[in-house]
Structure 1
Amino acid sequence: MGKWKALAVLGTAQFLMVLDTAVMNVSISRLVEDFHTTVTAIQTVIALYALVMAAFMITGGKLGDLLGRRRAFGLGLVVYGVGSAITAAAPVLWVLALGWSVIEGLGAAIVLPALAALVAGSYRGRDRALAYGVIGGLSGVGIAVGPLLGGWVTTYLTWRLVFVGEVVVVVVILALLRWIEVPPEAARRVRLDVVGAVLCAVGLAGIVLGILQSSSWGWLRPKESPFTVFGFSATLFVVAAGGVVLSLFVSWERRRESRGADPLVRLELFRVPTLRAGLFMLLIQSTVLLGLFFVIPLYLQVVQEFSAFQTGLRLLPVSATMLVAAMSGSALARVASPRTVVRCGLLVMLGAVVWLLATVKPVIDDLSFAVAMALLGLGMGLLASQLGNVVQSSVGEKARSEAGGLQNTAQQFGSALGTALIGAILIAALAGALNKQIEADPRISQAVRQQVGVALEAGVQFVPTDQVSTALKQAQVPPDQAQHLVDAYAAAQLNGLKAAILAAGGITLCGFGFTRHLPARRLTAEKDVPSKQG
């Protein structure tokens, strides 16, 4: 039991890091009500949390080299606890964003790279595979139990208590830090690349911000765009600017390396095929998972009008199958290569997407929905059982913190991208489907069509149909035509949800192209994966 005490502490921290994301997703409707805001605003808060982590994760990994991994782990927990306390007491939306999205995000950006490196440094061979399976499984439990726990607390008490509980858990983990035995680390003076950190953060932020605001700004045709370029919306230009800044980041890192200075991340790591493949797969996994975990609660809460607790119950099958699959990493390593396991996971995820598309109906079939959720958890768990070990095993001991930073950057950038991209596709598909149905319905007069068209130009929100009915009544739309519009909106909601789920399936399909360089042999040896293995 002694050697697993460290894993108990690290696993608890991993569970904590993902718990409140799941809580936020299942509490969307209550947050909209409590802060008198919109689904899009809460989407922004959720995406900002992941974006802050993605933007500063590499910097957080470098802090592990500067301070020592256990010390950085403790520092990050303190920051995270402060953010949780602010979130619990947030009186308005911007304070919620400050406490949760920014401060908690920064804390997690320090904790997670150190956590990944501490797991890799504490275990070897099959023990390491098992440890990463446990970590991946606990991530799955956090993502899936979060809706159940958060749903119950949100429905019967208040979501704020979850964050009060997080503060308590942080204090307990800090008290048990001595359980983590850190091997002696070679002393080395490391200077933080501040310019690189800023360029990396700004570049990633630009890409996610552009995608996130696309539903409000418009992709090409400007809606509420803050500026236009040759008559086009700001969206693509903001995304492109983010890409340019990232290219400047790469150039800056090369320049520092050529001068013998410490870069934020050594670009030579990206020349390791196994590491590169593992990072791309983590990006895809998080994009799909967090995209679906933004969309599915909307289907359950807004369309089906379930409470947060009822929503959590229906997401529970993800927890069971993801935990079992993720913790089977050690056993799977004896019979199959990571490449084989990951490809099987992708196939199962595609099956889950197809099943989900069939279950998105006006009246939910609970059994069919549960099967879809179980398949989703199984596929995600198979990926989680392999990818952490693949990434960390593809580099030497000295690069553990950097690999941990890159690993979590890929995951959190994928989370931000998934929430932003899948959410934007949902809103765009909703608006497009609603517009087509209104244009094709002869029972709706031209005057009402023009009135609705003006509203669609300003932007459409994903809201319950009774809110749509109330808004139409306030706009003095004739009752018979108002009912047709409500029916059209309800049908458009389902079309938007299916488009978003289908997009997640397309991203999953793209994942097969990145599996070629995953290890084709079983990872059961004590030594690391050869960096040139295809």
Structure 2
Amino acid sequence: MMKKWIAVIVLGAAQFVMVLDSTVMNVSISTVVKDLDTSVAAMQSAITFYTLTMAAAMLLGAKLGDVWGRRRAFVVGSIVYACGSLITGLSPNITTLFLGWSVIEGLGAVLVIPAIAALIATNYTGRDRVTAFALIGAVSGAAVAAGPLIGGFVTTYFDWRYVFFAEVVIMVAVLFAARFVADPSRPQKTGIDLVSVALSAVGLVAVVYGLLQSKTWGWILPLHPPVVNGVSIEPLGLSLVPYFVVGGAALLWAFVSRQKHLVARGRVPLIHPALFSITPLRAGLSVLGAQYAITAAIFFVVPVYLQMTLGLDALETGLRIFPLSIALILFSIVGTRLSDRWSPRLIARIAQVVLVVSGAVLLASLSLDLRNVLFAVGMFSTGAALGLLASQLGNVNMSSVGENETSEVGGLQGVFQNLGSSLGTALIGSVLIASLAGSFAAGVQSSDLPSAAKSAVSSATSAGVEIVPVAGVDAIVTKAGLSEDDAATLTTIYADSQVSSLRVSFVVIVLLALVSLVLSRNLPSRPAGQRDETAEVSVDPKPVSSSG
């Protein structure tokens, strides 16, 4: 019995490392900045570029899985990733860390992530496949939730580098165990269209980068535009964000047109455009993107509340998030059990309703003193909802196509995960910062502060209000020349403003869950065991030529 699940254990271990990596770095930023004598801005650039590397090369990585064979791509990607982790752990400066983490690890991930999805689909069928995808989903969610806890503990009591050294050890173990993962597919002797690679890479990078920079540059009107030679870059008085997003979307439209052109001429596309005509797949990818947007938004807002508002450290933050991790794993198993009797659509919609309710509970828990029980209930129910979704979406997507298209769908899943995460982070970051600035300005103007103090605060915050720890506001404003009484008043106003902006952010998360509920209407309406296996659609035409 255990032998049957060796493949999912091996693939799950790789998935855990891939997901854990970025969450660990997020909670270790301040320590890494000090250790490498660099800046927070440089670290944020490294984190952003890690996402961009994956966005740019994910479809190419999926295609290489077809050309080389899925297991070979998995092995090569694991080796590349392990080398990147080792370089990151040994980094003497930010340049080396950028190379090891943002570039080399990112390139390894684009080979591993699509291969994991494809190998699960080819190693398991029927109910076992549903279970395997649920386990992979649970592993991903557990890594997201456990990342702050692991990162906080290791960074606080040991050294942040040990996390990356541990990743090397895990990936070496994965390499030795990869021979237990069957790969019945044969490498395809097909060419890779370089024009398609360029269009997809540049288009995806433009969209993702634009979304990620929106909280800094502003969505439409300039907020903090980039400055070159003392000149702010704001074409036609607008932020650069719409230019990046619209330009990237145009390139992606050109990419899709290119794929149709290649198919019409009998050549091999980077991804078959007919995949987007498969209704269950389209619904599954849309809900997956929404799920990752919600997850990213939650994991942006919750640490801000726990660390910046309440003053908890990284380890305490991880402990408060832990109920989400436990619930996610538990309800991934529950969702798998339910899939024999309930349809993916029903399970997903129950999960999305629970997400809406969870957002409301977390909203009610926000205050300047942590309402432990209410917050824990909100985190647990959020994890339950995400676990139910994780138990369904991978299997829905992979079961929508034939074996020949599993690598391509694995790549598409990676793309939608990146786009969803970027959108969730960008959207919630922009909402949080904008509402914080508005609430703080209104609070200052309606306060009993002297007119001179109000003018000084208004001038100092004219370019926006930064998210800083509430506990440090008193020292900041006292240093700026305000009296102790005025500093105490401003600290109270800022704390209240932060809580108010967090509440607005959770309202947006609830709205995202409602959008996800709408997107789920085209998910399969019958349980997995009752769906006709012939419903899998193969869109892999036999090309008459693989050249050019």
TM range (shorter): over 0.9
Q: Which residue is equivalent to 1:521?
A: 526
Within the alignment, does 1:511 sit opposite 2:516 as a pair? Answer: yes
How many Å apart are 1:324 and its aligned residue? 1.2
Deviations 1:449-505 (A, max 9, x none): 343334333343211134333332332233332322222221121122222222121
Residues 1:453 and 1:31: Cα distance change in structure 2 (over 3 Å)? farther
SS in 2 for 1:225: coil
Matched to 1:81, the amino acid is: A
Within the alignment, does 1:350 sit opposite 2:356 as a pair? Answer: yes
Residues 1:258 and 1:455: Cα distance change in structure 2 (over 3 Å)? farther
The farther-off stretch of 515-524 and 474-483 is 474-483
1:432 to 435, 438, 444: 438
In 2: Cα distance, 1:438 partner to 1:216 partner: 23
In 2: Cα distance, 1:330 partner to 1:467 partner: 47
1:480 to 482, 485, 495: 485
Q: Which residue is equivalent to 2:544?
A: none
Residues 1:306 and 1:433: Cα distance change in structure 2 (over 3 Å)? same
Assess if the C-alpha contact under 8 Å between 1:48 and 1:416 holds in 2.
Answer: no
How many Å apart are 1:344 and its aligned residue? 0.4
Residues 1:296 and 1:45: Cα distance change in structure 2 (over 3 Å)? farther
Q: Which residue is equivalent to 1:66?
A: 67
Q: Which residue is equivalent to 1:89?
A: 90
Q: Which residue is equivalent to 1:385?
A: 391
Q: Which residue is equivalent to 2:546?
A: none
2:306 to 300, 305, 316: 300
Within the alignment, does 1:284 sit opposite 2:290 as a pair? Answer: yes
Assess if the C-alpha contact under 8 Å between 2:141 and 2:387 holds in 1.
Answer: yes
Residues 1:344 and 1:51: Cα distance change in structure 2 (over 3 Å)? farther
Deviations 1:359-394 (A, max 9, x none): 111110222211111001000000000000000000
Matched residues, percent identical? 43
Alignment of 1:291-370 (within 5 A): 291-370=297-376
How many Å apart are 1:279 and its aligned residue? 0.2
Assess if the C-alpha contact under 8 Å between 1:47 and 1:415 holds in 2.
Answer: no
Q: Which residue is equivalent to 2:149?
A: 148
How many Å apart are 1:186 and its aligned residue? 4.1
Matched to 1:480, the amino acid is: D
Deviations 1:287-316 (A, max 9, x none): 110221122112112221112111111111
Question: How many correspondences in the alignment?
Answer: 530
In 2: Cα distance, 1:33 partner to 1:359 partner: 34
In 1: Cα distance, 2:456 partner to 2:534 partner: 62
Matched to 2:300, the amino acid is: F
Residues 1:451 and 1:34: Cα distance change in structure 2 (over 3 Å)? farther
Assess if the C-alpha contact under 8 Å between 2:402 and 2:536 holds in 1.
Answer: no
How many Å apart are 1:10 and its aligned residue? 0.8
The farther-off stretch of 219-228 and 258-267 is 219-228
How many Å apart are 1:219 and its aligned residue? 3.1
Q: TM-score, normalised by structure 1?
A: 0.93
Q: Which residue is equivalent to 1:158?
A: 159
Residues 1:326 and 1:355: Cα distance change in structure 2 (over 3 Å)? same
Q: Which residue is equivalent to 2:100?
A: 99
The farther-off stretch of 40-49 and 130-139 is 40-49
In 2: Cα distance, 1:338 partner to 1:112 partner: 23
How many Å apart are 1:354 and its aligned residue? 0.6
Assess if the C-alpha contact under 8 Å between 1:61 and 1:401 holds in 2.
Answer: yes
In 2: Cα distance, 1:164 partner to 1:431 partner: 41
Within the alignment, does 1:8 sit opposite 2:14 as a pair? Answer: no
Residues 1:369 and 1:47: Cα distance change in structure 2 (over 3 Å)? farther
How many Å apart are 1:198 and its aligned residue? 2.2
In 2: Cα distance, 1:449 partner to 1:216 partner: 25
Within the alignment, does 1:256 sit opposite 2:249 as a pair? Answer: no
How many Å apart are 1:154 and its aligned residue? 1.8
How many Å apart are 1:432 and its aligned residue? 1.9
Matched to 1:196, the amino acid is: S
Q: TM-score, normalised by structure 2?
A: 0.91
Assess if the C-alpha contact under 8 Å between 1:25 and 1:297 holds in 2.
Answer: no
In 1: Cα distance, 2:347 partner to 2:263 partner: 37
In 1: Cα distance, 2:533 partner to 2:99 partner: 41
Deviations 1:304-337 (A, max 9, x none): 1112111111111111110011123431111100
In 1: Cα distance, 2:391 partner to 2:71 partner: 24
Assess if the C-alpha contact under 8 Å between 1:337 and 1:521 holds in 2.
Answer: yes
